[in-house]
A and B are shown apart, each in its own frame.
Chain A
Amino acid sequence: MAGETAWISHYDEDMKKETVDFNLELDEEIDKDGSAVSVDIILPDDLLERILSYLPIASIFRASCVCKRWHATSERFLLNPSHLLPQKPWYFMFTSSDEPTGHAYDPNLRKWYCIELPFVGTSNWSISSSYGLVCFMDNDSSFMDNDSRTELCLCNPITKSCRKLQKPPGMSSDYGALAISVDKETHDYTVAIVKSKQVPGNFFQWDISIHIYNSKEEAWVTPLTEVLTGWRGGEESVICNGVLYFVVYYTGGVPPENRHALVAYNISNQFSQASLSFIHIPCSLTCARLMNMKEKLVMVGGIGKLDRPDIIKGIGIWVLRDKKWEEIVRMPHKYFQGFGEFDDVFGSSGVDDLIYIQSYGSPALLTFDMNIKQWKWSQKCPVTKKFPLQLFTGFCFEPRLETAP
């Protein structure tokens, strides 16, 4: 048929694409009203890739089930996500405190997916994530005598690849904070653990030790041990731009300024005698959480009332610039109220431009987009509170296929 050959010949001449893997499959369907003949065209690879590049990850997964060629193209595509439009990070919410099950929220599609984490750990573990990898640490070593029974596991929640990491050496600790950082180019990763242990017989002194694991060397080093007076580490830390930040808490009675402070430790300088530097925290904060937002240190915390610092009157977001905190925004009252029973316990977690805030007492999830400065409720999580004291926690992570533990 004339139409058919015209397609092929002009396609070859005019198209600048190198190899046109092009089959013309004539599937004539005369429309009911007898007009045009519809011709099904098989997309060449480059056009297919173009369309795939606009799809969110979950859809690309499904696209890989269409046929073998699509499977190959999707896989190639998923492993080379520089072609993909930037995806907003997801949020995993535990729906049980005893099992690693939960729902993952995809803000790109506003959908919740049922995802099982590929290992046996629970929401009580410390969690840190970076570039698609999520690191879990079981802190429950308070009853152990010598051996630190810290269990460490690294996984990619999407691909389900999982790996147990050897434990950091040393004594058990009273508190441990976990942070992971993945190099975007090499996919090597650094895991940092800050351990705090009360010096026996002394209420005010705490042994702080920093342990760093490097995936290239596959070994732990302990570049710093120090004794802090009046301050102890907790469970909140993050690595940002090669610096390990962790929150410390005043233990000396009435605090000089605020009950919390921030400590910074330059990881990249671990071979030159880097020490800890203290950074003020803008005001008395509850549930302070640190996050790496495009290599800027951001902190979310509940602003306590002056006379009752354990009662929150608001939630604020700050960014650290040149060792000074800049307040970005405060949660508008209507959202603050929308959490309902906002126990003073809430969690927050964020990546890139998106921050997730969740009250422990309910599965409501609020997002703040730092780029467009917009607050938005997520699509409601399909889980209900089964008993009054049920807690909901979660963490933010990037859905990536190309990183593996």
Chain B
Amino acid sequence: MAQEASSSTSSKTISLKTGDGEIFEIEASAAKQMKTVQRLIDDLGDDITIPLHNVFSKELPKIIEYYKKDITGEITKDFEAEFVKDLNDDEVKVLFLAANYLDANKLFEFLSQNIADRLESKSVEYVRKYFGVENDFTPEEESKLREERAWSFRGIKEDE
């Protein structure tokens, strides 16, 4: 039976268990921002440790950090820039997929933009590797496509 999790005060914390067995605490108001977590709370009750099979101890703390800032209304552009500054492309990707799984919209949008920004100047080969995508064009098909779009490959950047 679903408990009235939504009436919890802000001091109430929820326990989350990652796919690799670690437990993290998060404030109920932050948990509300992650729709998947909220649904699990609604189904299982807020006194039970919520299992998150697809999120791991490497990324969950970072996500919790983001939403800690969010509930106090302190997310600024500077904070977001700092948040991703030391993350490499793969780490951002893992966070992005985790945010998607958790249905954490705000973080998800921010990371979508960040990944797009990172990829925008990368080569097609890099993007393939990044997403684990197999190139299924024949060499002829690919060179034809690249030729059609040649201008977008040859961005003439002013020497800086």
Give A contacts to B, CB under 8 Å: 3, 6-7, 10-11, 14-16, 25, 27, 36, 38, 40-43, 47-48, 50-56, 58-59, 61-71, 103-104, 109, 111-115, 379-380, 382
Contact A66 B156 (CB under 8 A): no
Q: Which 7 pairs show the lowest CB-CB distances between chains A and B?
A: A40-B132, A54-B116, A61-B152, A111-B155, A58-B152, A6-B53, A59-B120
Which residues of A sit under 8 angstroms from B146, Cβ to Cβ? Answer: 65
1/0 per residue B59-74: CB within 8 Å of A? 0000000000000000
Which residues of A sit under 8 angstroms from B152, Cβ to Cβ? Answer: 58-59, 61-62, 113
A54 to B134, CA, bound (A): 23
Contact A67 B154 (CB under 8 A): no
Cβ < 8 Å to A, chain B residues 1-35: 19
Residue count of chain B within 8 Å CB distance of chain A:
43
Q: With both chains docked as a complex, state the minimum distance between the C-beta of A292 and any C-beta of chain B, in angstroms.
A: 26
Contact B119 A67 (CB under 8 A): no
Q: With both chains docked as a complex, state the minimum distance between the C-beta of A121 and any C-beta of chain B, in angstroms.
A: 18
- B106 beta carbon closer than 8 Å to chain A: no
Which among A48, A52, A66, A109 is the interface contact of B124 at CB below 8 angstroms?
A66
Which among B19, B97, B136, B158 is the interface contact of A3 at CB below 8 angstroms?
B19
Contact A67 B149 (CB under 8 A): no
Contact A113 B136 (CB under 8 A): no
In the complex where A66-B124, A379-B158 touch, is A51 in contact with B90 (Cβ < 8 A)?
no
Which among B97, B124, B137, B157 is the interface contact of A62 at CB below 8 angstroms?
B124
Q: Which residue of B lies closest to A25 (CB)?
A: B132
Contact A113 B155 (CB under 8 A): yes
Which among A40, A53, A56, A61 is the interface contact of B149 at CB below 8 angstroms?
A61
A3 to B112, CA, bound (A): 25
Which residues of A sit under 8 angstroms from B100, Cβ to Cβ? Answer: 47
